[in-house]
Each structure stands twice: as structure tokens, then as C-alpha cells.
Amino acid sequence: MSKVKIAVLCSGGGTNLQAILDAQAAGNIPHGEVVLVVADSREAFALKRAESFGVETAVFDKREYPRAARESAILACLKAHGAELVVLAGFMTVLSAAFVKEYEGRILNIHPALLPSFGGVGMYGLHVHEAALARGVKVTGATVHYVTEECDGGPIIAQKAVEVMEGDTPEMLQQRVMREAEWVIYPKALEQVCKKMRGDTI
């Protein structure tokens, strides 16, 4: 069986990418393999993480490529690498409907809340955790979902709840959600999707 070729799209730190690469190295993603990491910023630390794993990288910097040109360059790069599955991991560009259509049902994203709560336009990064704290929720978490045209609205693949603690700041909550939920469920969901793509239901 050939492994599903995965491309990971990042913009920043890349801790979710790291969790995926670590899971792959540990043999926990037997049905898939990260073949490419794409960043929309030259400074993305995710690029260093990819390089130290020997994974090929490509950069289409926001300062050099306007949005439409960036998308078509990314798409061409994904095709050139034979990417079958696109994984968004802290990627700060919202994809156009045309891009989503090209990889329909084959783009995953992770969101740092229990969707449909605290999702949608403007809900990214610390804003999500600020909103959760402002609403006074006692439980939040993370969601892995398929990407559709609707921002944060695609079918849910996996979720994990995380407790909100008394005195949490948005930064503290963000760290706990990443550690206890995001880094745990993303590699698992990825393997689940790759396995399904290869028609393996066991």
C-alpha cells in the first residue's frame, strides 16, 4: 500500500506540525507521510522543524505574493509534489472557494475550540481563547474538521475537551488547549483520514 502524500500548510510556530512529524516518526501514521511543508512566511519556524525532519519545504511569502497569486503558486506546488491531502496547521490565509474545490474533502484544519462554538471569521489565535474566557465557559477544547467554503463550518472529524481553570489568561488557556488537545487529536485524526482514503476500514 502506498502512503497518502500529505502537505502541511503553516504560517508560524508549527507546534502542530511538530506533533504530526513526531507521530509519524513514532510509526503512528502508517497510512500517510508528510512530503511537503508550505509556509506563507519566510520566518515561519515551522520551516525549521520540517528541515530538521528532512521534509521538503516551499515558501510563498505574503509580502511577495498577493493572495490570488499565492494560492495558485501553492496549488501548483502541491500538485507538483503529488500531495493528496492538505493539512492546515496554523495557516493564516483563508483559502478561496476555488482552492477548496480543487482539494474537496481532502483539506483538514484544527481549530482551538469546540466548534461550532467560538469559530468563524475573526476567530483565530488568541481571539478564540479571549472569547471563550469572556463567555465564561468552563470547558473548551479543540476540533479537527474538513475544510469547506464556510469558515470553520466543515464536517467534524475529532474533538477533545479541555477544562478552563480559575484565573486562566488567554495565553494560559491557549497553551493548555494545544498541549492537552491539539497535539493529541491532530495526528490521530490524520491517520484516521489517511486510512479511510486508502479504503482500509479495519
Question: What are the catalytic residues?
Answer: 111
**Measured from the CB of residue 176, what is the shortest distance to ligand GRF in angstroms?**
11
**Residue showing the smallest CB distance to ligand GRF in the complex:** 90
Q: Among residues 69 and 134, whose Cβ is nearest to ligand GRF?
A: 134
Cα-atom radius of gyration of the chain, to the nearest Å? 16
The answer to the question of residue 40 lying near ligand GRF (CB under 6 A) is no
Q: Among residues 39 and 76, whose Cβ is nearest to ligand GRF?
A: 39
The answer to the question of residue 15 lying near ligand GRF (CB under 6 A) is yes
The answer to the question of residue 110 lying near ligand GRF (CB under 6 A) is yes
User: Which H/E stretch holds residue 50?
Assistant: helix 45-52
Torsion region of 19: left, alpha or beta (phi above 0 gives left; psi -120 to 50 gives alpha): alpha
Considering only residues 86 to 105 of the shown chain, the ones binding ligand GRF according to CB under 6 A are: 89-90
Q: What is the DSSP letter of 78?
A: H
Considering only residues 170 to 189 of the shown chain, the ones binding ligand GRF according to CB under 6 A are: 178, 182
The answer to the question of residue 157 lying near ligand GRF (CB under 6 A) is no
User: Which H/E stretch holds residue 71?
Assistant: helix 67-80
Pairing label, strands 32-39, 4-10: parallel
Cell 494560492 -> residue: 71
Interface pick for ligand GRF out of 12, 119, 141, 154 (rule CB under 6 A) = 12
Q: Among residues 45 and 65, whose Cβ is nearest to ligand GRF?
A: 45
The answer to the question of residue 108 lying near ligand GRF (CB under 6 A) is no
The answer to the question of residue 141 lying near ligand GRF (CB under 6 A) is no
The answer to the question of residue 112 lying near ligand GRF (CB under 6 A) is yes
Q: Among residues 13 and 30, whose Cβ is nearest to ligand GRF?
A: 13
Sign of the C-alpha dihedral computed for residues 48, 92, 31 and 192 taken in this order:
positive
Residue partners of 19: CB distance under 8 A and separation at least 6 = 182, 183, 184, 186, 187
Buried b (16+ CB within 10 A) or exposed e, 184-194: bbbbbbbbbbb
Contact residues toward ligand GRF (CB under 6 A) are: 10, 12-16, 89-90, 110-112, 178, 182
